[in-house]
Structure 1
Amino acid sequence: MVRTLIEAHKMIVYLHGFRSAPASIKAQALKARMTERGLADRFWCEQLPVSPRAAIALAEAEIARAR
């Protein structure tokens, strides 16, 4: 039961680098693979703010929402 709950909450949060974007080749390749496997809802990659503090807050909010 515990393993099932853990598996249900796993996700990939893709944090692209500075001067990169969700449209990068790597991000799109990972998104496509997750979609092929029926796991698109477990993949998150958004345009991150330039501010590290704001980027962290955005990622933390998405992780909290996904729980």
Structure 2
Amino acid sequence: MILYLHGFRSAPASVKASRLQAHMAARGLADAYWCAQLPVAPDAAIARVEAQIARCDAPPTLVGSSL
């Protein structure tokens, strides 16, 4: 599972996130990709990511993007 964490004031529809999503889908791995709109509040964003990690069957790969 790849968890893509977009930067502050970015979104899942960003160019980098969209390209990674398309790359995964083209290889039949769309279900192994997660990129959600993260809350602006750091504590809320951390909680959202931790909850997604807890749902993973195996340790995920984290990909982060920021300016």
TM-score tier after normalising by the smaller chain length: 0.7 to 0.9
* Richer in strand (by share): 2
Using structure 1 for the length normalisation, give the TM-score.
Answer: 0.80
Higher Cα Rg, which structure: 1
Q: Among the aligned pairs, what percent are the same residue?
A: 68
Normalising by structure 2, we get a TM-score of 0.80
User: Partner letter of residue 23 of structure 1?
Assistant: A
For residue 66 of structure 1, report the CA deviation from its aligned partner.
2.2
Matching of residues 33-44 of structure 1 within 5 Å: 33-44=23-34
| AA aligned opposite 1:24 | S
Give the number of equivalent residue pairs: 57
RMSD, matched Cα: 0.7
Q: Which residue of 1 aligns with 2:36?
A: 46
Amino acid at match of 1:56: I
Give 4+ residue runs of structure 1 displaced > 4 Å after superposition: none
Aligned mate of 2:18, from 28, 39, 53: 28
Gaps of 5+ in 2: 58-67
Alpha-carbon offset, residue 53 of structure 1: 0.9
RCO comparison, higher one (Cα < 8 Å, 6+): 2
- Gap runs ≥5 in structure 1: 1-10
